[in-house]
Structure 1
Amino acid sequence: MADANMAWAELPEECVAGILHHLLCLPDHSMFSGVCTRWRTIAMRHLPPMQPWLFMPSTNATSFFCVACERTHQGPCLPDNARGARFCGAHLEGWVAAAEIPHDDRSVPGNRAPALLNLCTGERVLLPRSLRNNNPDTTFINHIQAVILSYTPCQAHPYYAAAIVSGKPNIMFWRPGMSDWVPQMLKWDSGFKMWQKQLSKDPIEDANYIFFGPLGGGFYVLNNKEDLLVYAPKANDRHGELTMSSVNKYQLRRNPRPTMPEPGEVLARYLVESRGHLLMVVRFVSTEKATVAFDVFKLELKPPSWKKLTLDTLADQTIFLGRGCSFAVEMRKSSQCPPNIYFLDDSVSFSGAGSSTSQAQQVQGPFPCGDTGRCCEQGIVRCPPREPPSDSSPWTWFYLPPYVAFLEWFKTQAIKQLEQVLSKFLRISNVNLIGNCCAKMKHDSAVLI
């Protein structure tokens, strides 16, 4: 037996690596790496692509679906005060944005406020519930549609947040230390007309932060006319303000112009950074409002335009679409992964940021989840779960922490589960032991009588 175990441990690294290339699911990969020290060392040299999980929150229970193995996993538990929250953003290393959770500060209107939550570490960053303009007045935020971060919250790196909201302004900004959100201002004392010029006059479709974007670093905002606005934030610590170092607008058109009719009605447009390029993914639905096709465009600078790409140009990439949190994952080239685009149900998407749509109309539940799936060379494949609809929040993605941190978290969860099983087993054993003792006492008493 010992010789057999030793033979498995001494498999050539090429064989072990070949097995690992088929283990794209992180829990499977981590369990494989726990077989022995040598396998763990090889596994660390052949890490799987960090594909996000599908985050399916609800009031009663929360589950996570892995697109790599197409199984549901037990993921992090939501904090008690976040149960039933509407989630409006997903960010790297386990961070998500919640539109409203109970606030410790009783002075907050309704005692509820948006927050950033790390589901793996339990960290929390409270966000303001009010917007301060340059009058200066403060107004209560009606409805947050999506929260976008420049960087994950940590002390080592400064970060900014942008939020797409209903009403005017349709986008606002914040950085740690500020008590209110602020609109996009080049100078804080600029007039009302100057401030209005910085707004997107058309409904916002999506936003993303790009460090080294083709048009410079900053928040890239896409409207329904497929134009881009780029907001580059600049902190002004003198008054605890946040202003923009630049605001640039780019009118873009598709190049070449489409000669064939589009495959359906445009439901949504998404911004994705991929291999140093900025992509716009356009989603089409049928008359029955089911997703039927996607078009992918790359931003060209000379002249500024959207150039259509074929799906095969995205080989060895998997794109996960979500408002404010779309992400492209590099797959293993040796495995020749076909291009895939995963999408979530946006049938109740918050269309028209900046419009006068009421909050009651926008947050009406339950949130449907039937129009989810994957777009590939074979067409639209309905692979992720499609039921049941959530009673509290749209489904979103959950971006896992880095692999080493994931291993530590996974080990902790496994130990907790083992402790629960052992505790349950011991309770049952004690109950059986007590029951046997009681039965013996009754028997002895009967004998004595």
Structure 2
Amino acid sequence: MAARRSWADIPADLVAEIARHVPCLEDRVRAARACRTWLRGVLTNPCPLQLPWLLLPYQNAAALPPYATRRASFFCVLCNRAHRLAVPHYTEGARFFGAYPGGWLFLAYGQSCGHGLINLRTHESLYLPDDIIRPVGDGLARQYPMFIRAATLSAPPATFEGCVAAAIITVLTPQCFFGPSHITVWRMGSHVASASCTFGLDAEDVIHHNGAFHFLTRHGDLLICRPEFQDEAPLGRLQVREEFREMLGRVLNAGARYLVECRGELLMVLRVQPHQEATWSFRVFRMMQEQVSDADGIDADHARYGWTELPALDGRMLFVGRGCSRSFEAAHFPGSQEGVYFLDDGSFHAAPMICFGDEPRQYGCCNNGVWSGPPDHAHHWFPLQRPSTYSSPVWFLH
């Protein structure tokens, strides 16, 4: 009988070559645990750039005994399979509503309250406001509860200095579910969202681009908010300069709209979802600027902006999600395809269910996948995935 051979017997140069062709971070971690030879092989080949993972909620948030390990399912696009990884125990039943690079997730522990940020790498936890101060006239203001639909940041939140958050929210008043969504901006560390921007905007998405927050309306227009403050000023003191851009070439009919920065440009991605059924395809537009001419020539202080449709994806990989869209180049990921990668975020418009829904809530989890451009239709991942009682899927940004 032949002697049993060890993984350590594989030549080091062959191990290093194999490790070079293992792109998935979790696969590399497991390979490094095999033995010292594999550990050296993995370490000699720096981990390649990672694509976002899809955090796919379970049907129910199972109650676990104290100190038990809670795990979640993360789908990796690079290796085309799901990994079950440990997450903080206290995330049980939380609603996820966004992500930020570096392992951060936005979540609401109480569905419509208890907003916060957690880092799945370090298990660091930060709080976000549950209330907003809103003017009521005659120089007076009143504090209202709110719930956050989508959010993003101006900088990594590890330290509050210089970090500003922006969010699309619903203000919890008796009339809140019959009007448009609202937007707000605040400095991280504030206990209330005190810098209220234009109300009634009915925003669909938000992104931090070129030093300012850009809110996209359901008609394709933009509201640009530039926070202004001094570092030594109180956290609640924040001024916001606003600029509204009524965009040319607006496209009115869309299942959802997203903003994503790609190759230094701002793109708008439209989701084609007839009759709120499964996603069919996407359309991608680039923001264009043209100078306005007057009688004396070109007016440098004014410009017109509009959307122009891209004829092809041209190697782009666009991962879209409200507040957390990211772009990558297919050429940097051998074996990957260009396309629009999407997730099931239909609950964005389900404010009554999130706040007052009878148990069990029903968050859709089956409308995820990739669309690789015309004339193809979207390819769906997990089309039979049952609804979750606590959250929709969300991207995890490494």
TM-score (norm 1): 0.70
Partner of 2:51: 51
SS, match of residue 40 in structure 1: helix
Q: 2:260 aligns with which of 269, 272, 292?
A: 272
Amino acid in the other structure paired with 2:275: T
Q: Sort the Cα spacing of 1:267 and 1:3 in 2 relative to 1 into closer, same or farther, 3 A.
A: closer
CA contact (8 A) 1:76 1:120 kept: no
Partner of 2:79: 69
Taking the aligned partners of 2:392 and 2:353, their CA distance within structure 1 comes to: 18
Amino acid in the other structure paired with 1:204: A
Taking the aligned partners of 1:372 and 1:299, their CA distance within structure 2 comes to: 26
Taking the aligned partners of 1:360 and 1:295, their CA distance within structure 2 comes to: 34
SS, match of residue 42 in structure 2: helix
Partner of 1:222: 216
Alignment pair present for 1:143 and 2:147: yes
Q: Sort the Cα spacing of 1:178 and 1:233 in 2 relative to 1 into closer, same or farther, 3 A.
A: same
Q: 1:383 aligns with which of 376, 381, 384?
A: 381
CA contact (8 A) 1:228 1:250 kept: yes
**Equivalent residue runs for 1:111-130 within 5 Å:** 113-130=114-131
CA contact (8 A) 2:15 2:41 kept: no
Identity fraction in percent:
28
Of residues 123-132 and 139-148 in structure 1, the stretch that sits farther from structure 2 once superposed is 139-148
Alignment pair present for 1:94 and 2:103: yes
Amino acid in the other structure paired with 1:319: L
Q: Sort the Cα spacing of 1:385 and 1:39 in 2 relative to 1 into closer, same or farther, 3 A.
A: farther
Taking the aligned partners of 1:222 and 1:334, their CA distance within structure 2 comes to: 30
Taking the aligned partners of 2:6 and 2:368, their CA distance within structure 1 comes to: 49
CA contact (8 A) 1:321 1:344 kept: yes
Partner of 1:244: 239
Taking the aligned partners of 2:221 and 2:167, their CA distance within structure 1 comes to: 18
Partner of 1:433: none
Q: Sort the Cα spacing of 1:5 and 1:232 in 2 relative to 1 into closer, same or farther, 3 A.
A: same
Partner of 2:157: 153
Partner of 1:207: 206
Q: Answer 1 or 2: which has greater helix percent.
A: 1
Taking the aligned partners of 1:368 and 1:178, their CA distance within structure 2 comes to: 32
Partner of 1:396: 394
CA contact (8 A) 1:91 1:399 kept: yes
Partner of 1:175: 187
Tell me the CA shift for residue 245 of structure 1.
4.8
- State which structure, 1 or 2, has the greater radius of gyration over its C-alpha atoms: 1
Amino acid in the other structure paired with 2:193: W
Taking the aligned partners of 2:307 and 2:144, their CA distance within structure 1 comes to: 37
Unaligned residue ranges in structure 1 (runs of 5+): 103-109, 185-197, 401-449
Taking the aligned partners of 2:116 and 2:329, their CA distance within structure 1 comes to: 30
Once the two structures are superposed, residues 336-393 of structure 1 have per-residue CA deviations (whole angstroms, 9 ceiling, x without a partner) of 7431211111333327x9xx99943699821111221110144311134641221101
Tell me the CA shift for residue 7 of structure 1.
6.8
Amino acid in the other structure paired with 1:278: L
Of residues 50-59 and 25-34 in structure 1, the stretch that sits farther from structure 2 once superposed is 25-34
Q: Sort the Cα spacing of 1:272 and 1:20 in 2 relative to 1 into closer, same or farther, 3 A.
A: farther
Taking the aligned partners of 1:155 and 1:304, their CA distance within structure 2 comes to: 35
RMSD, aligned α-carbons: 3.4
Taking the aligned partners of 1:68 and 1:94, their CA distance within structure 2 comes to: 18
Q: 1:164 aligns with which of 164, 168, 171?
A: 168
Of residues 385-394 and 29-38 in structure 1, the stretch that sits farther from structure 2 once superposed is 29-38
Tell me the CA shift for residue 293 of structure 1.
1.0
Taking the aligned partners of 2:254 and 2:280, their CA distance within structure 1 comes to: 10
Q: Answer 1 or 2: which has greater strand percent.
A: 2
Alignment pair present for 1:231 and 2:225: yes
Q: Sort the Cα spacing of 1:92 and 1:358 in 2 relative to 1 into closer, same or farther, 3 A.
A: closer
Q: Sort the Cα spacing of 1:129 and 1:333 in 2 relative to 1 into closer, same or farther, 3 A.
A: closer
TM-score (norm 2): 0.78
Taking the aligned partners of 1:358 and 1:343, their CA distance within structure 2 comes to: 21
